[in-house]
């Protein structure tokens, strides 16, 4: 998808279409993290810390339980 920036007062805005917002589960109240590596602009929703910690715990448990299977699949 290619987009152009829209002038809003003295600033520029990136307008995101509703299907994209719906796919990401974000709306006007969602806090967004904006970062760059100098050539790429990355915009991502800020997720709840508890949710992130819970996901990490599930991933660690799966890795401990299925490390051998994951290793075989990687080969």
Tens-binned pLDDT, residue by residue, of the chain (75 aa): 899 999 999 999 999 999 999 998 899 999 999 999 999 999 988 877 887 788 889 999 999 999 888 888 888
Predicted TM-score (pTM) of the model is: 0.54
Residues 6 or more apart whose CB falls under 8 angstroms from that of 59 comprise none
3-state secondary structure of 27: coil
For the chain, give every domain's residue range: 6-74
């Amino acid at each position: 998808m290619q987009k152009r920036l829209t002038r809003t007062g003295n600033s520029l805005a990136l307008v995101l279409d509703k299907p994209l917002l719906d796919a990401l589960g974000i709306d006007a109240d969602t806090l967004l993290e904006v970062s760059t590596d100098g050539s790429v602009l990355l915009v991502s929703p800020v997720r709840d810390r508890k949710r992130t910690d819970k996901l990490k715990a599930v991933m660690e448990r799966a890795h401990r339980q299925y490390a051998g299977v994951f290793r075989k699949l990687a080969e």
